[in-house]
Amino acid sequence: MTEQLDAGLVAGEIAEHPDALSKPYAGGELGRGRRRKEDAKLVTGQTNWTDNITLPGLLHMTVLRSPMAHARIVSVDVSAALELPGVIAAYSGADLADVQGALPCAWPVTAEMVHPDHPPLAVDEVRYVGDGVAVVVARDRYTAVDALEAIAVEYEQLPAVVDMEAAIAEGADLVHGDKGTNTCFRWPFASGDNYAETVAAAGDDAVVVKRRFRQQRLLPTAIEPRGVVVAPIAAADEYTVYSATQIPHILRVMLALVTGIGEHKIRVIAPDVGGGFGSKLNVYAEEVLALVVAKKLGRPIKWTESRSENYQATIHGRDQIQDIEIAATRDGTLLGLKVELLADMGAYLQLITPGIPILGAFMYPAIYKMKAYDFHCTGVFTTKTPTDAYRGAGRPEATYAIERIMDELAAELGRDPMDLRKQNWIRHEEFPYDMVAGLTYDSGNYEAATEKAEQMFDLAGLRAEQERRRGDNDPMLLGIGISTFTEMCGLAPSRVLGSLSYGAGGWEAAQIRMLPTGKVEVTSGATPHGQGHHTAWSQIVADALGVPFEDVEVVTGDTDSSPKGMDTYGSRSLVVGGIAIHKATGKVLEKAKRIAAHLLEAAEGDVEFSGGTFSVKGSPEATMTIQQVALATFAAHNLPDGMEPTLDSDYVYDPENFSYPHGTHLCAVEIDSETGFTTIRKYVCVDDIGRIVNPVIVEGQVHGGIAQGIAQALYEEAVHDAEGNLTTGSLVDYLVPAAPDLPHFDTGRTETPSTSNPLGVKGVGEAGTIASTPAVMNAIHDALRPFGVRDIAMPATPERVWRALRHDDGTPRDASGTVAYGGPSTNATSGGTS
Amino acid sequence: MRVRMKVDGVVYEDEVEPRTLLTHHLRDGLGRVGTPIGCDTSNCGSCTLLVDGESVKSCSVLAVQADGTEITTIQGLAEGSTWHPVQKAFQEHHGLQCGYCTPGMILAAVDLLSHNPDPTEDEVRHGLEGNLCRCTGYQNIVKSVLSAASEMRGDGPLPGSFQDAPAESHETAGASS
Ligand code: FES
Ligand code: FES
């Protein structure tokens, strides 16, 4: 046997550097808080951001944008720009009309959906402030910016359409005149028993609470703005596109479909990407324009977005009006839920714009058992920047509405809001559970997460303090907010996507390549932009193959080296991409085992694998490491008959079900009734995201998510004036929280493994964002409820809170209203008072 | 106009347009691209670097205003392959995710610690007010800075976030608890 091994170990004789060969696997990779592999370059400034890329002869592109929300383009004259020294080219939309194609929308949610043409540069009409009308290409950045001023555009102003409800009213001005309507689609979804009948059947025993919630428009604000560089080889009609994107693989397909350039002639590279939060999950005008202009000129082109452009031309998030109605019997048992949703599409449909509210449709019932569910969504066009996926995409909106109205229902019933949740949630022994919205939740333990959170938070202690301080008429108002959320992660089973008319699948691809020296290369189609994929993937592979963590290299973000993929969004990376990798390691092991059996002269059934070593049952000295097998497959001197040399594998994994992480977030706020200023005093969360690969990365994801959810509750709002101008168009006016604006978060975990995948993982990317907005807003409403305050719009700015605490004439309201669960508060069936 | 500056230990002398921002001169003129740009209103702090030892948002300074200065960017902060304690602390305490804010955050922290070697958590939060991070929620950034402060004072870093041994299990048996 030793002879056979030696025969395979030629490389060991050629190269003798001790570091070239592998050390034994130390074990315990999964669940270990590994330092991130990504960090070395990031903390030393050796990062490859798109804007860092420079190429010989590189030209800079800038985009002239519409200053009006809605106007007919009478003329665009670029001739003066072309006269400027250093300007290479300038094009209007009309100049590019026959090559620029139309930007894609991959999610036609209904067959009748109105899908307006979306040219990268507007040709006839501009429909939002920031809509592109012309491009300039110049020798350097500054000249390209200067030249924009030399372009003369004549507009004929058309009416702006800003308000969603006005937009769908009779006789409204139209965003797309030729479509005859501002309604993009209507999407009805009734599930379970009939809602109206269910409520009627309960008769006098039914309690119904209605509220209107507003999901304000948000600006995603990845700190790296977008950017694109296109390097053409004109003679071969071949293009390398570098883009600060979350989706290099999808982008490649779409660029081919939009421009007609062969998909096989386009290579897309997502270099280091500085955050996305959904805003880089799209196919943007500038990506198409840089490509068609590079093709026209045969020169490399760079476009880098400024922050002000980013706020106009990168998708916005949220912007929904939610009319929600919940019904329960007097004893608190939920009967059903009815949701009427208005969702602002903006002026055009970007990649998955119409699908965002539909993703939320399935999550309104959240973790609660009920029999009837009625959902209806209307998508509406307005003359504003298109909306699309932003941090949670539909699911945070749904969670907000249900968690807020559970508190309102509790107040109406005179119940403790946590008790009401406990009465209605799925108990851990009831999983798997078929939800009223049609999903099957595979696992969960809401009791365990909540119990732990209550302890960490000292919920009972804080409630006692609140009661005492209310009795003392303390002008600082203590409020306690609860959010027991779940989310739908791991997008997505391809069949489900198909049934929802989404234009692609939800699988993910992985490849493992065992190198001759025993090192391992892993490619993944899940492309990171800050999450730490390279570290987590290395841990999964190290654990499965029994190789050292350091010996694994992960390759992502380049359609040449990781050609297949569906990219990163929807908390899918670990749950779909990670499982693809895990399955690919299984294929490697399967092949390696056959080879090991062959070389160890044992029956395959007698060969065992553990910690990176194959051994033969009953003969302890007959062993072989996986690295030795890799080398043997490379030398290929002695393989089983018919076996292919080398030790690689490919796996494309299509999930069978979603995963359902959940958790309990508790927030205590102190509100100064004199100023309306809210301070978060304590924030505790216990998340159950199933099995953990790297707890430190998980905690970081939770922190960042909570921060963005708090930002929605307290700080951020994209505001448009009546003419459709974005009045929060820069970081001066749009309040992204800085370090002093956010509290310390106490995080905890429970682990209820998912039963939908072999690693038991569930995904964590959006948990914090989804849970924290309602936790904070419930805390604020809890503090204000004795004053009869029923709904404060987000963000709950000091001004809004201050006003809510006063009558219209400015005199303070008193706290004579009943306390949170001392009895029914106000008339439950009318809308809010924001 | 002619400007002369020492950037990360190397002297450069160049002709620049008077309106050229320092950050563009460094990135486009000198190829020192370690300092990224995140806004156009001097709000985000991504472009922070040290000019004569003080932190400056390089998008709010003209290259000509930096004539005759000595500049440290993130690319010049380490001594050879030995990272500055703040760089080390950011990795040890997971003070970064996408890393786009990180160069500015680290240099702002270096400046903060040079003025206040023993800051409280609150002082760190306020000291970094001019630097936005969208990924981390700041908690681990604050921890990183406090740890670096402790190390730089000679008290050793705070216990790291990362474990060299496997984490203990938090598993909650789904059906049995
Ligand atoms: S780029 Fe300088 S502060 Fe934002
Ligand atoms: S780590 Fe991404 S912005 Fe700070």
**Does residue B17 belong to the interface with chain A, where contact is any CB pair within 8 Å?**
yes
Mind telling me how many Å the CA of B23 is from chain A's nearest CA? Answer: 12
What number is the average pLDDT over the span A217-234?
Answer: 97
A99 and A141, same domain (yes or no): yes
Q: What is the pLDDT of residue A5?
A: 45
Closest CA to A749 of A768, A733, A728, A736: A768
Percent of chain A whose predicted confidence (pLDDT) is above 90: 87
The number of the ligand nearest the C-alpha atom of B97 reads 2
Q: CB–CB of B41 and A274 under 8 A?
A: no
Cα–Cα distance measured from residue A558 to residue A181, given in angstroms and rounded to the nearest whole number: 41
Q: Are A32 and A692 in contact (CB under 8 A)?
A: no
Q: CB–CB of A445 and B41 under 8 A?
A: no
Strand A607-610's sheet: what is its strand order? A607-610, A613-616, A619-625
Q: In terms of DSSP H, where are the helices of A66-123?
A: 79-83, 93-96
Closest CA to A413 of A535, A484, A326: A326
Contacts of B79 (CB under 8 A, 6+ apart): none
* Cis bond before residue A795 (omega within 30° of 0): yes
From atom 3 of ligand 1, which residue's Cα is the shortest distance away? B42
Residue A355 lies in a domain: no
Handedness of CA A288, A290, A292, A295 (dihedral sign): negative
A648 and A668, same domain (yes or no): no
A58: burial class by Cβ within 10 Å (0-12, 13-18, 19+)?
Answer: middle
Six token digits for residue A258: 């939009």
Closest CA to A387 of A341, A349, A360: A349
- Tens of pLDDT, residue by residue over A127-161, are 999 999 999 999 999 999 999 999 999 999 999 99
From its phi and psi, is residue A632 left (phi > 0), alpha (psi between -120 and 50) or beta? Answer: alpha
pLDDT of residue A457 exceeding 60: yes
A631 and A676, same domain (yes or no): no
- Tens of pLDDT, residue by residue over A588-606, are 999 999 999 999 999 999 9
First to last CA, chain B: 74
Closest CA to A338 of A191, A450, A557, A511: A191
Percent of chain A whose predicted confidence (pLDDT) is above 70: 95
pLDDT bucket at A11, cuts 50 / 70 / 90: very low
pLDDT of residue A573 exceeding 90: no
Six token digits for residue A694: 């790297």
Closest CA to B49 of B28, B29, B69, B79: B69
Cα–Cα distance measured from residue A767 to residue A769, given in angstroms and rounded to the nearest whole number: 6
A276 and A136, same domain (yes or no): yes
Nearest ligand 1 atom to the CA of B36 is: 1
Mind telling me how many Å the CA of A816 is from chain B's nearest CA? Answer: 37
Backbone angles phi, psi at A636, to 5 degrees: 60, 25
The number of the ligand nearest the C-alpha atom of A223 reads 2
Q: Are A521 and A555 in contact (CB under 8 A)?
A: yes
A115 and A248, same domain (yes or no): yes
Among the partner-chain residues B103, B134, B169, the one whose CB lies closest to the CB of A751 is: B169
Q: Are A555 and A509 in contact (CB under 8 A)?
A: no
SS3 A132: strand
Encode A544-580: b = buried (16+ Cβ within 10 Å), e = exposed: bbbbbbebbbbbbbbbeebebbbbbbbbbbbbbbbbb
Ligand 2 center to residue A339 CA distance, Å? 36
Strand A476-486's sheet: what is its strand order? A476-486, A662-672, A678-688, A745-750
Q: CB–CB of A32 and B174 under 8 A?
A: no
pLDDT of residue A305 exceeding 60: yes
C-beta of A235 in contact with ligand 2 (< 6 A): no
Which chain A residues are within 8 Å of B20, Cβ to Cβ?
142
Residue A318 lies in a domain: no
Q: CB–CB of A44 and B34 under 8 A?
A: yes
A611 and A663, same domain (yes or no): no
Which chain B residues are within 8 Å of A46, Cβ to Cβ?
34, 75
Q: Alpha carbon of A114 to those of A125, A254, A321, A503: distances in Å? A: 18, 20, 20, 16
From chain B residues 22-41, the ones with a CB under 8 A of any chain A CB are 24, 27-28, 31, 33-41
Domain count for chain A: 3
**Does residue B20 belong to the interface with chain A, where contact is any CB pair within 8 Å?**
yes
| Separation of CA A346 from chain center | 19
Q: Residue A680's domain spans which residues?
A: 391-488+659-817
Residue A198 lies in a domain: no
Q: CB–CB of A700 and B140 under 8 A?
A: yes
Q: What is the pLDDT of residue A21?
A: 62
Six token digits for residue B27: 């990135």
The number of the ligand nearest the C-alpha atom of B134 reads 2
Q: Which residue of B has its CA nearest to A446?
A: B174
Q: Are B170 and A760 in contact (CB under 8 A)?
A: no
Q: Alpha carbon of A27 to those of A127, A330, B166: distances in Å? A: 58, 55, 8
Residue A346 lies in a domain: no
Ligand 2 center to residue B110 CA distance, Å? 18
The number of the ligand nearest the C-alpha atom of B102 reads 2
**DSSP per-residue codes, A699-719:** HHHHHHHHHHHHHHHHT----
Among the partner-chain residues B41, B87, B125, the one whose CB lies closest to the CB of A43 is: B87
What number is the average pLDDT over the span A409-437?
Answer: 97
A576 and A648, same domain (yes or no): yes
A152 and A281, same domain (yes or no): yes
Cα–Cα distance measured from residue A495 to residue A504, given in angstroms and rounded to the nearest whole number: 10
A679 and A703, same domain (yes or no): yes
Six token digits for residue A409: 């229902």
Six token digits for residue A188: 């009805």
Closest CA to B152 of B109, B122, B97: B109
- In order along its 177 residues, chain B shows pLDDT tens digits of 999 999 999 999 999 999 999 999 999 999 999 999 999 999 999 999 999 999 999 999 999 999 999 999 999 999 999 999 999 999 999 999 999 999 999 999 999 999 999 999 999 999 999 999 999 999 999 999 999 999 999 998 888 766 555 444 444 433 333
Residue A708 lies in a domain: yes
A699 and A798, same domain (yes or no): yes
Selected for mutation to probe chain A from B75, B139, B145 (highest A CB count within 10 Å) is B139
Handedness of CA A66, A71, A73, A79 (dihedral sign): negative
Residue A197 lies in a domain: no
Six token digits for residue A643: 């076996």
Q: CB–CB of B77 and A44 under 8 A?
A: yes
Mind telling me how many Å the CA of A776 is from chain B's nearest CA? Answer: 15
Query: Percentage helix, strand, coil, to 5, in chain A?
Result: 35, 25, 40
Closest CA to A720 of A396, A423, A477, A384: A384
Ligand 1 center to residue A521 CA distance, Å? 37
| Separation of CA A408 from chain center | 28
Cα–Cα distance measured from residue A179 to residue A106, given in angstroms and rounded to the nearest whole number: 20
Mind telling me how many Å the CA of B139 is from chain A's nearest CA? Answer: 6
Closest CA to A396 of A312, A280, A221, A277: A277
A241 and A117, same domain (yes or no): yes
* Residue position matching structure tokens 């092949």: A591
Last residue of a domain, one of A604, A623, A653: A653
- Tens of pLDDT, residue by residue over A70-116, are 999 999 999 999 999 999 999 999 999 999 999 999 999 999 999 99
pLDDT of residue A824 exceeding 50: no
Cα–Cα distance measured from residue B69 to residue B54, given in angstroms and rounded to the nearest whole number: 11
C-beta of B62 in contact with ligand 1 (< 6 A): no
What number is the average pLDDT over the span A450-479?
Answer: 96
The number of the ligand nearest the C-alpha atom of B38 reads 1
- Tens of pLDDT, residue by residue over A621-667, are 999 999 999 999 999 999 999 999 999 999 999 998 999 999 999 99
The count of C-alpha atoms lying within 13 angstroms of the C-alpha of A73, restricted to the half-sphere facing its C-beta, is 23
**Does residue B141 belong to the interface with chain A, where contact is any CB pair within 8 Å?**
yes
From atom 2 of ligand 2, which residue's Cα is the shortest distance away? B98
C-beta of B32 in contact with ligand 1 (< 6 A): no
- Tens of pLDDT, residue by residue over A242-267, are 999 999 999 999 999 999 999 999 99
Closest CA to A774 of A395, A438, A414, A354: A395
From its phi and psi, is residue A506 left (phi > 0), alpha (psi between -120 and 50) or beta? Answer: alpha
ipTM of the modeled complex: 0.94
State the greatest distance between any 2 C-alpha atoms of chain A, in Å, as a whole number.
Answer: 96
Ligand 2 center to residue B101 CA distance, Å? 5
Q: What is the pLDDT of residue A25?
A: 75
- Tens of pLDDT, residue by residue over A709-725, are 999 999 999 999 999 99
Selected for mutation to probe chain B from A29, A34, A38, A42 (highest B CB count within 10 Å) is A42
* Residue position matching structure tokens 């670096």: B148
Selected for mutation to probe chain A from B58, B133, B138 (highest A CB count within 10 Å) is B138
Q: In terms of DSSP H, where are the helices of A390-532?
A: 395-413, 417-424, 446-457, 459-471, 494-499
Ligand 2 probe mutation, A41, A42, A43, A223, most atoms within 8 A of CB: A223
Q: CB–CB of B128 and A749 under 8 A?
A: no
From atom 4 of ligand 2, which residue's Cα is the shortest distance away? B133
Number of residues that make up chain A: 834
Q: Are A515 and A527 in contact (CB under 8 A)?
A: no
Q: Which residue of A has its CA nearest to B46?
A: A223
From atom 3 of ligand 2, which residue's Cα is the shortest distance away? B133
From chain B residues 87-106, the ones with a CB under 8 A of any chain A CB are 87, 90-92, 94, 96-103, 106
A647 and A668, same domain (yes or no): no
CATH number of B2-76: 3.10.450.50, 3.10.20.30, 3.10.20.90, 3.30.1330.30?
Answer: 3.10.20.30
Instruction: Cite the residue boundaries of each domain of chain B with CATH code 1.10.150.120.
Output: 85-152
Cα–Cα distance measured from residue A730 to residue A308, given in angstroms and rounded to the nearest whole number: 5
What number is the average pLDDT over the span A567-582?
Answer: 88
Which chain A residues are within 8 Å of B27, Cβ to Cβ?
51-52
Q: Alpha carbon of A112 to those of A178, A184, A187, A349, A427: distances in Å? A: 15, 9, 10, 14, 40
pLDDT of residue A17 exceeding 70: no
What count of CB pairs under 8 Å joins A to B? 232
Cα–Cα distance measured from residue A430 to residue A442, given in angstroms and rounded to the nearest whole number: 10
- Tens of pLDDT, residue by residue over A760-770, are 999 887 889 99
Q: Which residue of A has its CA nearest to B16?
A: A142
Fold of B85-152: DNA polymerase; domain 1 (1.10.150)
Q: CB–CB of A222 and B138 under 8 A?
A: no
Q: Are A520 and A552 in contact (CB under 8 A)?
A: yes
Q: What is the pLDDT of residue B63?
A: 97
Q: Are A585 and A540 in contact (CB under 8 A)?
A: yes
pLDDT of residue A497 exceeding 70: yes
Handedness of CA A636, A638, A640, A642 (dihedral sign): positive
Cα–Cα distance measured from residue A265 to residue A256, given in angstroms and rounded to the nearest whole number: 9
Q: Which residue of B has its CA nearest to A745?
A: B139
Q: Which domain CATH number covers A516?
A: 3.30.365.10
pLDDT bucket at A16, cuts 50 / 70 / 90: low
pLDDT bucket at A6, cuts 50 / 70 / 90: very low
- Tens of pLDDT, residue by residue over A747-783, are 999 999 999 899 999 988 788 999 999 999 999 999 9
